[in-house]
Amino acid sequence: MPGNNYNLSSSHIPLSRTERLLRERELREKRRSNRALNPNDSVENSENDLRLEGDSSRQQYVEQYLEGAAAAMAHDDVCERQEVRPYNRQRLLVVANRLPVSAVRRGEDSWSLEISAGGLVSALLGVKEFEARWIGWAGVNVPDEVGQKALTKALAEKRCIPVFLDEEIVHQYYNGYCNNILWPLFHYLGLPQEDRLATTRSFQSQFTAYKKANQMFADVVNEHYEEGDVVWCHDYHLMFLPKCLKEYNSKMKVGWFLHTPFPSSEIHRTLPSRSELLRSVLAADLVGFHTYDYARHFVSACTRILGLEGTPEGVEDQGRLTRVAAFPIGIDSERFIRALEVPDVIQHMKELKERFAGRKVMLGVDRLDMIKGIPQKILAFEKFLEENASWRDKVVLLQIAVPTRTDVSEYQKLTSQVHEIVGRINGRFGTLTQVPIHHLDRSLDFYALCALYAVTDVALVTSLRDGMNLVSYEFVACQEAKKGVLILSEFAGAAQSLGAGAILVNPWNITEVAASIGQALNMSPEEREKRHRHNFHHVKTHTAQEWAETFVSELNDTVIEAQLRISKVPPELPQNDAIRRYSKSTNRLLILGFNATLTEPVDNQGRRGDQIKEMDLNLHPELKGPLKALCSDPSTTIVVLSGSSRSVLDKNFGEYDMWLAAENGMFLRLTNGEWMTTMPEHLNMEWVDSVKHVFKYFTERTPRSHFETRDTSLIWNYKYADIEFGRLQARDLLQHLWTGPISNASVDVVQGSRSVEVRAVGVTKGAAIDRILGEIVHSKSMTTPIDYVLCIGHFLGKDEDVYTFFEPELPSDIIPAIARSRPSSDSGTTRSSSGGGDRRPPSKSTHNNHNNKSSSKSSSSHSNNHHHNNKASSQRSLQQTTATERKSSGSSNSHSLGNSRRPSPEKISWNVLDLKGENYFSCAVGRTRTSARYLLGSPDDVVCFLEKLADTSVPNSS
């Protein structure tokens, strides 16, 4: 298919996203201008298409659109002559709940198709840039196979593909979950009460049907999908669809657009299935809304409910970015403008002007729905008539109220209420010959509506909550001659687009709306001209075609951006290769992080976080067996290197034969030994009390925040606080720290995603590794160099120097010597070692950039595994001694430090590491922005890998 060749060549991709989008916009404009040079090729410019009567005009117009009569490919030769590159139209699979046609069965294998009304159909009528296919429900139950085949064949001629839903699914999915749960919630009407829920069974059964229906839509999309297609999912009916599609094909280009408002996070969080729906939508590459407010609400819901990171671009989850943006929809304005030239419309306009001669015409066109604010509109008009007696026989309000969901009691009550108010006002202010309000409970055909728009002086849109409201656009498009005034509710999405030219009102404020009616009726021609000019320009330029083209263009670019981002992300850990090299090595070192690496997952049942459970760090229960097997292998040494306190590591790992390195390696012990400190001598900790005072103050000011005190650092954590408030507090805290307590202190400030840590300078995991290694080598009396290193953890960026410490590709001049001193019974004070044991390697903090640069190899190895072919090895010498402090205590749970001193023993020198590039595996858990070579997604992935590794260790341990 033409769309299959749409993917851009990476060699021609501009560097910035904006540059790429501007170039694509320029190409679209050139193609559009070429089509303008050949008007005979365009469907909508055919006079015969517009000289149709009544509803048939709309029907034939839509049919021609669906049959693809607009042959864009005919412009290729024109493009070549004008040096504009020919283009292939991209295939666009438009997936919506309803097809743009409704099917009526005429026989066992015979169907007739009728055009369906709907905003999405109207909006996409003018889109010619893509080769579109529609996928959706035809609005009818077809249980038999013969009928399904016949209907599929009939719809194929209209470029439509049906999804067959049975009556029970439609009842629970569409009437139940979509219309009874999601629609009211998204329009701020709240969830239904139990008595209403009971009428359509339980909420859970409706949600189950909703997911099942979405999967049925996904099955049809997967059946017709071809590589390079763009899948565009529409509206709240299909929030689960992006996840279903991505599970089938992760490379599928998927966009999702919501045509209703998206409520604030405080409203959305009342939805029982809130988290599941948000995560399903986030599976899409691009999520679109009508306005920035709706997009902001969605991002806020993801951050506050899911605890994800919101960015100016969208929502980030484990390094994957879902782009979220606003795309205000438009109309095919030219269709309305040309309709005013049709003789039938001109005649109808003449009749209306004669009918309402001498009176100003006000118009309202709405669905008879609770959110449209029809009662508020009529009551405001009544107040205007009360206060302006001179206008009572000079103005008329025409209210077109299109019936909807007439079988629902709430809508029946609304209809009765509107009729009662209209009757009362007409009885109060009307005469035998005329009434102030003409109320019509039915829809008008396209031409009648255009004529009505054209003769209107004031259009009144008083929606209480509306996704966009295209009636305001249609009115403006038909007002080039009269230049009428638009009164527009500030709660309609269109207010953000047409607000400059319209009079914005709060429909709940009847007095304000009444005053605005007076302002509009008395407005000078000059002001009307200025307001109309602004709105008319917007309506003509921001068309439905431009909306669709912009969305798909951004979707294509979002996929390109994601590919560029992924190219910089390390690959997944090659587990089979890591296990094979593990089994062939003779002396292995495994360095494992703890938090978010070996910890037990907390079941939050869809909630954002259980603070008490998550703060209590526990070892993953499935790791007990694998860890024991690995620890029992005499050729394997395990170090748990964590920022946690000693008591936490004691509680979780006391039963294993391994090394524990607490507080970023500043405290070390073998599990059957005592704690000792590896801290550099003369470590300045005078800043602790002042920083603790600041942390305590901000903890009191920030609900659900807390701080932890450790021997070498202080941590303030606001993970469970309100996201936005926590960030503001963190900013204030940092500003206060830098200008006060730590302005002259030798400390490092480490910012996590939702934490602030202050630690002594040089306290990093990488800086402690050489001292830890020295202790391990001496304790085990190693005589064989370490030839295999596996380092896995979820470390902060400051601590990722532990990955680069072992990197064999680093130049030898930055590799430090590892020093170690033997323990002695002599007591004394700690003294500074003159050698490498006390010296932190420059690479750990200052050479991180060097590693990123030198590891163009290491980076490229993410994609081509080049380091497996690197035969260079790292050989590090144990050349001199250091002093360490031991913990003097009879109990391993006591963490008071003694003052034991060790004299220098005899010096030894030999190669501690003999590490080839292919035998070193550094792996970050759940962090895509990392200097590690590889990735694992979660602690569960770590568990699976270590289980496999333990199985390999079993023969060796015997």
Neighbouring CB atoms inside 10 A of 36's CB total 10
Task: State the amino acid at position 852 in one-letter form.
Answer: N
Beta bridge partners of 323: 286, 314
Whether pLDDT at 727 is above 70: yes
Task: State the amino acid at position 727 in one-letter form.
Answer: R
Q: Are 214 and 240 in contact (CB under 8 A)?
A: yes
Segment 716-733 shows an average pLDDT of 90
Q: Are 437 and 425 in contact (CB under 8 A)?
A: yes
Q: Which pLDDT does position 863 carry in this prediction?
A: 38
- With a pLDDT cut of 70, the percent of the chain lying above it is 77
Whether pLDDT at 840 is above 80: no
Segment 284-312 shows an average pLDDT of 93
Q: Which pLDDT does position 190 carry in this prediction?
A: 84
Calculate the alpha carbon distances from 927 to 355, 476, 569, 665, 796 in Å: 71, 51, 9, 21, 9
Q: Which of 597, 599, 624, 598 has the alpha carbon at shortest distance from 614?
A: 599
Segment 43-71 shows an average pLDDT of 39
Higher pLDDT, 852 or 340: 340
Q: How are beta strands 667-670 and 934-936 bridged, if at all? A: unpaired
Segment 797-802 shows an average pLDDT of 86
Distance CA(580)–CA(574), nearest Å, equals 10
What is the rounded (10 degree) CA torsion for 324, 327, 329, 335? -140
Q: Which pLDDT does position 410 carry in this prediction?
A: 86
Lowest mean pLDDT among 32-41, 523-532, 694-703, 821-830: 821-830
Contact residues for 168 (Cβ-Cβ < 8 A; gap 6+): 209
Q: Which pLDDT does position 425 carry in this prediction?
A: 96
Q: Are 428 and 455 in contact (CB under 8 A)?
A: no
Distance CA(162)–CA(152), nearest Å, equals 6
Whether pLDDT at 604 is above 60: no
Distance CA(267)–CA(187), nearest Å, equals 10
Contact residues for 317 (Cβ-Cβ < 8 A; gap 6+): 282, 306, 308, 309
The 10s digit of each residue's pLDDT in 95-115 is 999 998 888 888 888 888 887
DSSP state letters, 509-564? -HHHHHHHHHHHHT--HHHHHHHHHHHHHHHHHS-HHHHHHHHHHHHHHHHHHHHH
The torsion region of residue 188 among left (phi > 0), alpha (psi -120 to 50) and beta comes to: left
Task: State the amino acid at position 702 in one-letter form.
Answer: T
DSSP state of 5: G
The 10s digit of each residue's pLDDT in 520-536 is 999 999 999 999 999 99
Higher pLDDT, 406 or 822: 406
Higher pLDDT, 528 or 916: 528
Distance CA(953)–CA(579), nearest Å, equals 10
Distance CA(348)–CA(267), nearest Å, equals 46
Lowest mean pLDDT among 33-42, 552-561, 696-705, 873-882: 873-882
Segment 272-299 shows an average pLDDT of 95
Whether pLDDT at 311 is above 50: yes
Question: Per-residue confidence at 858, pLDDT binned at 50, 70, 90?
Answer: very low
What are the φ and ψ backbone dihedral angles of 741, each rounded to 5 degrees?
Answer: -55, -35
The 10s digit of each residue's pLDDT in 682-705 is 777 888 999 999 999 999 999 999
Question: Mapped to the 3 state alphabet, what secondary structure does 51-79 carry?
Answer: CCCCHHHHHHHHHHHHCCCCCHHHHHHHH
Q: Which pLDDT does position 22 carry in this prediction?
A: 76
DSSP state letters, 599-644? BPPP--TTSS--HHHHHS--B-GGGHHHHHHHHT-TTEEEEEE-SS
Q: Which pLDDT does position 613 carry in this prediction?
A: 65
Q: Which pLDDT does position 54 carry in this prediction?
A: 38
The 10s digit of each residue's pLDDT in 614-638 is 677 889 999 999 999 999 999 999 9
Q: Which pLDDT does position 889 carry in this prediction?
A: 36
Question: Per-residue confidence at 809, pLDDT binned at 50, 70, 90?
Answer: low
Reading the block at residue 356, the tokens are 């309402």
The 10s digit of each residue's pLDDT in 172-193 is 999 999 998 999 999 999 887 6
Question: Per-residue confidence at 7, pLDDT binned at 50, 70, 90?
Answer: very low
Calculate the alpha carbon distances from 222 to 130, 161, 946 in Å: 19, 12, 36
* CB-neighbour burial class of residue 738 (10 A; exposed 0-12, middle 13-18, buried 19+): exposed
Distance CA(735)–CA(98), nearest Å, equals 54
Segment 319-326 shows an average pLDDT of 91
DSSP state letters, 635-655? TEEEEEE-SS-HHHHHHHHTT
Lowest mean pLDDT among 3-17, 487-501, 808-822: 808-822
- The half-sphere exposure of 737 on its side-chain side, counting CA atoms within 13 A, is 32
Segment 154-164 shows an average pLDDT of 92
Segment 357-384 shows an average pLDDT of 96
The 10s digit of each residue's pLDDT in 481-512 is 999 999 999 999 999 999 889 999 999 999 99
Residues in the chain: 958
CA dihedral over 620, 621, 623, 624, signed as positive or negative: positive
Reading the block at residue 227, the tokens are 């590589």
Interior angle at CA 188, CA 184 and CA 190, nearest 5 = 60
The most confident of the ranges 209-218, 866-875, 933-942 is 209-218
Average pLDDT, whole number, for the chain?
A: 80
- Give the largest Cα separation in the chain, rounded: 119
The torsion region of residue 891 among left (phi > 0), alpha (psi -120 to 50) and beta comes to: beta
CA dihedral over 580, 583, 584, 589, signed as positive or negative: positive
Q: Which pLDDT does position 602 carry in this prediction?
A: 67
Beta bridge partners of 461: 488
Distance CA(240)–CA(279), nearest Å, equals 9
What are the φ and ψ backbone dihedral angles of 57, each rounded to 5 degrees?
Answer: -65, -50
Q: Which pLDDT does position 609 carry in this prediction?
A: 57
Reading the block at residue 682, the tokens are 């003369």
